[in-house]
Amino acid sequence: MRALFVLPAQINARGLLPFLSQLGELRHAEEIALDFSHLRRVTPAGLTALAASVNGWQRQNRGVAFHGLSDCAITGYLQRMDLLSACRVQLPKGFQRHEAQGRFVPVRVIDHDVTQLGRDVAGCLAPGGEDYDHPMAGLYDLANYVITEVANNTRQHSAGVGYAAAQVTRTEGFVRIALADDGIGMLRSLQLVEYPGSDRFTDMEAICKSMEPRVSCKVGNPNEGVGLTLVSNLTRLAKGWLMIVSGSGVVTIPRDLQTIVRTLPDNGYYRGTLVAGSFPQQTTRDFADLLQRAKIGAGLLRGGTINATFEA
């Protein structure tokens, strides 16, 4: 079966979930033709989801064709963000390679060196932030933490290949971070370790369970299973936005702090897992305080201060 997918004009906040549902419709196609001619805008979440999906199809030896790039208004942007090279598409370099520092992180494969990936992404989003007293130190630490924790989940649990990308929106003062893989998804990960009750979970319940403290898809040290918990708590404390998509489930933490749990539109299904977040630069200045409060909220640390009296 051959399927044609005309990418929508906007793959952003409103268009992301319908786009993921449409990607899911292609999971049984033997040959896939992607038409880029109408595409005008795509966020890091859309870039990583597309890169993960295409590479998954290619590893399954499906035919993947790319059409309409000559008519696409943002082909140069797709090249600068390394989406096309990640999808094994080589075009003549008809664009100017802008300086990425402080602006964007092109699509990067999540490989074995997750620690270095976290440093590279954080250093690009917050130049100079690796220095403790630098004004960007808080943003550097938050970006490094989010990338490292989510990328480690991808490496350890997804059984697939993942990609990361990020962008700084200067006018809005936000940093957007996204990681996506084409793996087995959160529900199947919990089921493989025979997590109690997981055989009856929905995809939405699996995402929510994975965000709870001490829940891990890896058997071992009891301190495992807090990465997504702390990432979600950090998002709330920093007044950011977070979305996790896996299978048919979607869990969103918007800026009003009321978590939204739903399914993908049109009975959609996204193979793998997508984690996308947006963080205000101004609220991440004291990352150490945010992380401590996130740990207290997760029950990993005791709150309050310690009063001690010493007698001679």
Nearest to 1, CA basis, from 27, 35, 36: 27
Q: Return the domain boundaries, the chain.
A: 2-89+101-297
Each residue of 229-284: pLDDT tens digit? 999 999 999 999 999 999 999 999 998 778 999 999 999 999 999 999 999 988 99
Could you tell me whether strands 241-247 and 270-280 are parallel, antiparallel, or unpaired per DSSP bridges? Answer: antiparallel
Question: Residue for token digits 């499906």?
Answer: 62
Kindly report the pTM of this predicted structure. Answer: 0.91
Quick one: pLDDT band at residue 307, thresholds 50, 70, 90?
A: very low
Of the chain, the percentage scoring pLDDT greater than 90 comes to 73
How far is 246 from 208, CA to CA, in rounded Å? 11
Question: Residue for token digits 């959160």?
Answer: 186
Nearest to 45, CA basis, from 227, 171, 207, 176: 176
3-state secondary structure of 271: strand
**What confidence score (pLDDT) does residue 169 get?**
84
Q: How far, in whole angstroms, is CA 107 from its chain's centroid? A: 11
Q: For domain 2-89+101-297, give the fold.
A: Heat Shock Protein 90 (3.30.565)
Element (H, E) at 94: none
How far is 190 from 202, CA to CA, in rounded Å? 11
Each residue of 84-143: pLDDT tens digit? 999 999 888 766 666 677 788 999 999 889 999 999 999 999 999 999 889 999 999 999
SS (H, E, C) 180-221: EECCCHHHHHHHHCCCCCHHHCCHHHHHHHHCCCCCCCCCCC
Each residue of 202-236: pLDDT tens digit? 999 999 999 998 665 554 444 455 789 999 999 99
Mean pLDDT of 12-16: 89
**What confidence score (pLDDT) does residue 180 get?**
97
**What confidence score (pLDDT) does residue 311 get?**
40
> What does the DSSP assignment read for 11-50?
ESTTTHHHHHHHHHHTTT-SEEEEE-TT--EE-HHHHHHH
Size of the chain, expressed as the number of residues it contains = 312
Cβ distance 277 to 145 under 8 Å? no
Average pLDDT, the chain: 89
Each residue of 23-59: pLDDT tens digit? 999 988 999 999 999 999 999 999 999 999 999 999 9
- State residue 178 phi and psi, 5-degree precision: -145, 140
